[in-house]
Amino acid sequence: MDWGLKNRMSKIIKPDTGRSVMLAVDHGYFLGPTSRLEDPKKTISPLAPYADSIMLTRGVLRSSVDPSLFNSVVLRVSGGTSIIGEDLANEGIITCMEEALRLNASGIALSIFVGSKYERQTLLSLAELVDSGERHGMPVLAVTAVGKELGKRDARFLALSCRIAAEIGAHIVKTYYCDDFEKVVDGCPAPIVVAGGPKMTEKEALELTHKSISKGAIGVDMGRNIWQSEHPVPMIKAVRKIVHEDATAKEAYDLFKKLAKNK
């Protein structure tokens, strides 16, 4: 890896623990004003100090994030479809590399849709971004299994998607937790971060975080299970405790309850 690429990677994956807490706030790019993310500034500001990296689009970055913010940014650069459109998988590139560099992103992210009608198109976009990323020192995060593909959330499918992303050259792969998750991790030579998915209880989300980390994920890229919680800051702190301090799910949940009570 070139110096610039390594430097950017170290802003996303913390070198002292080799782990990462990414805060996903990119949902509006296909879901519109998602519940509790209607006003992105309000959602992001209190959580930003506790996230190693924030994943979002350039529009929300410009409008809703203070540029003096210390944290790093992973810019979502794929999109062009919506939840009510014909097919969510029909994504293209919506933000160019020059813009990502201008915005001082530490990484760029795109979704791939393995098994869909648009598999080839999204995988070729990944290949192009990786070529460009290598030229410019910009890490590329490939997001697997969003949308309809989510229905196929089992180890065989996720291992296939993650491996293909890593083979094409993704520097980080984002996927979902599943039974036999270690098979997904073992088959993927790139570091894996886990998405939280739809809101569950805080206890369940912390258990999911713990299982993901103990089975080899290097972190989470979590959204709704943090900012749709009644207590988002205690929740992200509890997630950090697992990711960076190897806390058990119970220890993290106890911390969450204590912080939520003292608010």
Select the span of 12-20, 63-71, 114-122, 223-231 touching ligand R5P (CB under 6 A): 223-231
Q: Which residues contact 209 (CB under 8 A, 6 or more apart)?
A: 194, 220, 222, 239, 242, 243, 249, 252
Is residue 26 at the binding interface for ligand R5P, with CB under 6 A as the rule? Answer: yes
Is residue 223 at the binding interface for ligand R5P, with CB under 6 A as the rule? Answer: yes
Angstrom distance (rounded) from CA 163 to CA 105: 25
Nearer Cβ to ligand R5P (22/261): 22
Least CB distance to ligand R5P at residue 179 (A): 18
Residue 220 and residue 249 in contact, taking contact as beta carbons nearer than 8 Å: no
**Pattern of binders to ligand R5P over 57-86, x per CB under 6 A?**
------------------------------
Nearer Cβ to ligand R5P (2/38): 38
Residue 174 falls in the annotated catalytic set: yes
**Pattern of binders to ligand R5P over 118-157, x per CB under 6 A?**
-------------------------x--x-----------
Is residue 196 at the binding interface for ligand R5P, with CB under 6 A as the rule? Answer: yes
**Pattern of binders to ligand R5P over 197-216, x per CB under 6 A?**
x-------------------
Sign (positive/negative) of CA torsion 42, 43, 48, 49? positive
**Coil vs helix vs strand at 23:** strand
Is residue 111 at the binding interface for ligand R5P, with CB under 6 A as the rule? Answer: yes
Residue 229, classified by CB atoms within 10 Å of its CB into exposed (0-12), middle (13-18) or buried (19+), is buried
Residue 36 CB coordination number (10 Å): 18
Residue 182 and residue 159 in contact, taking contact as beta carbons nearer than 8 Å: no
* Amino acid symbol at 3: W
> Site residues (CB under 6 A) for ligand R5P?
24, 26-27, 55, 111, 143, 146, 195-197, 221-225
